[in-house]
């Protein structure tokens, strides 16, 4: 009898330490108990739907990106997240979340832009969030009696916004606005997802957590399914180093992002991504060079200028800043011969020459002079651990 009593008491004590549904404890260093969405973040974390950064933080107030949104929804639905090439020109297998993006497209949850891009590092706004969740889950149809002063019938997100509002997933602001074009933070998106998956979280306080929300536009732009590009500074998904074999025989092409990570005795740990955005060569390149500065020299006889625009995003730096400049690039002929002719172009803007700190992103032009009939490659940091090849043959 005593043994049975001890067992019952032990079980009661054990239950005191088991989190109650809806009260999952977050282990992130920057998500305190008094954070509005503490429970929701903990709930999603416990289910493996969200994760944090290597330093143990969650960074709840950073904007959630299109890649992060696809990852969170994909994990919640149990979609195939295996890395693979997608139909989008800017989402190859080495882009973190590529598998979830592809799977979400297959399910009709997300789509891309008219130019064939997905733009994985752009932020998600409140209108898009409503569309994503409404497509991913079966929601009760929203009633037209719900009113937001900045949501009109001609918006593509109109019904999705009504649906998430009717289902208690997203509410509006005290001034009767929904603010469909406002970016969504990581904490807010976690709240939306938790409310979608677990009804007990619905009907909680309004989701906005931005200290200084943007003023309401009395004449807001309609929400498009895929809005025009925004240029904030979101905290994108921190990518894993590329697993593809980049080499002279397999160079990255325009629109392909290469994620790199290295450690060396001089600069310590570095993690960043680099993408070839655009290539211009021949007469068109010379006209740009000439217009940049009237004193720039024309290409030598039998040669041509090649202009290449690169984007670089810094993720982690042990030693700041990171110096990106023209000297890090060399041109190599189709036959594998390194071009060592010195060329200098003044006035080309934006020039790929600046100091970058952790979290910064920058685009700029660099330039080469090559044989006019050549189909050259560009090599970045030749001879170092992060040596990367790009096809600049246009």
Domains along the sequence of the chain with CATH: 16-201 (no CATH), 257-391 (2.60.40.1240)
pLDDT in tens, 268-311: 888 899 999 999 999 999 999 999 888 889 999 999 999 999 99
pLDDT (0 to 100) of residue 39 = 87
pLDDT band of 361, cuts 50, 70, 90: confident
Tell me which H or E stretch contains 177: none
Alpha helices in the chain (DSSP H): 2-15, 38-46, 66-77, 98-106, 126-136, 158-166, 186-197, 282-292
Which tens digit of pLDDT belongs to each residue from 156-212? 888 989 898 888 888 888 888 899 888 888 889 988 999 999 888 886 444 443 333
Res. 358: pLDDT tops 50 = yes
Count of C-beta atoms within a 10 Å radius of residue 330: 18
Residues 16, 11: Cα–Cα separation, whole Å: 9
CB 128, CB 227: distance < 8 Å: yes
pLDDT at position 244: 53
CA distance 277 to 308: 8
- Calpha distance 374→304 (Å, rounded): 9
Q: Are 296 and 323 in contact (CB under 8 A)?
A: no
Q: Report the alpha-carbon distance of residue 70 to residue 313 in Å, rounded.
A: 20
Q: Dump pLDDT digits (tens) for 35-76.
A: 888 888 888 888 888 888 878 888 888 888 889 899 999 999
With 90 as the cut, is the pLDDT of residue 312 above it? yes
281: exposed, middle or buried (Cβ count in 10 Å: 0-12, 13-18, 19+): buried
Q: 16: pLDDT confidence band, cut at 50, 70 and 90? A: very low
Question: CB atoms < 10 A from the CB of 266, how many?
Answer: 5
pLDDT at 149 over 70: yes
pLDDT tens-digit map of 372-386: 999 999 999 988 888
Structure tokens belonging to residue 363 = 């685009």
Query: What distance in Å separates the CA atoms of residue 178 and residue 222, rounded to the nearest whole number?
Result: 12
As a whole number of angstroms, the distance between CA 191 and CA 355 comes to 37
Joined together, the tokens standing for residue 290 give 């000439």
Q: What is the pLDDT of residues 326-356, one digit of tens each?
A: 889 999 999 999 998 767 888 888 889 888 8
**pLDDT for residue 226 is more than 50:** no
What radius of gyration do the chain's Cα atoms show?
A: 25
Average pLDDT for 250-277: 86
pLDDT interval class at 223 (50, 70, 90):
very low
- The residues, ordered by sequence, that sit 6+ positions from 323 with a Cβ below 8 Å of its Cβ are 355, 356
In percent, the amount of the chain with pLDDT more than 70 equals 81
Q: Give the separation between CA 33 and CA 161, rounded to whole angstroms.
A: 30
> What integer pLDDT is reported at residue 111 of this predicted model?
84
């Amino acid at each position: 009898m005593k043994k049975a009593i001890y067992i019952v008491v032990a079980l009661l004590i054990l239950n005191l330490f088991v989190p109650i549904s809806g009260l999952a404890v977050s282990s992130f260093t920057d998500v305190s108990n008094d954070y509005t969405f503490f429970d929701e973040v903990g709930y999603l974390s416990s289910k493996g739907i969200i994760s944090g950064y290597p330093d143990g933080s969650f960074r709840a107030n950073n904007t959630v990106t299109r890649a992060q949104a696809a990852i969170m929804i994909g994990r919640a639905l149990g979609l195939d997240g295996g890395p693979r090439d997608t139909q989008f020109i800017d989402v190859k297998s080495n882009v973190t979340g590529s598998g979830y993006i592809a799977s979400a497209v297959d399910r009709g949850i997300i789509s891309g832009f008219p130019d064939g891009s997905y733009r994985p590092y752009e932020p998600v706004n409140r209108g898009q969030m409503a569309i994503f969740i409404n497509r991913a889950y079966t929601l009760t149809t929203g009633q037209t009696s719900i009113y937001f002063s900045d949501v009109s019938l001609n918006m593509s997100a109109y019904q999705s916004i009504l649906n998430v509002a009717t289902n208690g997933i997203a509410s509006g602001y005290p001034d009767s606005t929904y603010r469909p074009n406002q970016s969504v933070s990581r904490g807010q998106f976690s709240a939306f997802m938790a409310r979608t998956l677990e009804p007990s979280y619905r009907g909680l306080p309004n989701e906005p957590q931005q200290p200084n929300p943007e003023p309401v536009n009395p004449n807001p732009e309609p929400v498009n399914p895929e809005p025009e590009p925004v240029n904030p500074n979101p905290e994108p998904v921190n990518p894993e180093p590329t697993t593809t074999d980049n080499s002279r025989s397999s160079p990255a092409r325009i629109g392909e992002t290469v994620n790199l990570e290295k450690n060396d005795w001089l600069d310590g740990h570095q993690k960043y991504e680099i993408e070839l955005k655009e290539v211009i060569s021949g007469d068109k390149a010379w006209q740009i060079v000439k217009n940049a500065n009237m004193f720039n020299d024309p290409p030598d006889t039998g040669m041509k200028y090649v202009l290449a625009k690169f984007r670089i995003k810094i993720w982690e730096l042990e030693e700041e800043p990171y110096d990106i400049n023209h000297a890090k690039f060399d041109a190599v002929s189709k036959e594998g011969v390194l071009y060592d002719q010195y060329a200098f172009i003044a006035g080309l803007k934006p020039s790929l020459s600046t100091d970058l700190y952790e979290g910064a992103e920058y685009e700029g032009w660099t330039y080469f002079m090559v044989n006019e009939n050549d189909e050259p490659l560009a090599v970045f940091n030749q001879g170092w651990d992060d040596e990367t090849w790009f096809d600049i043959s246009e």
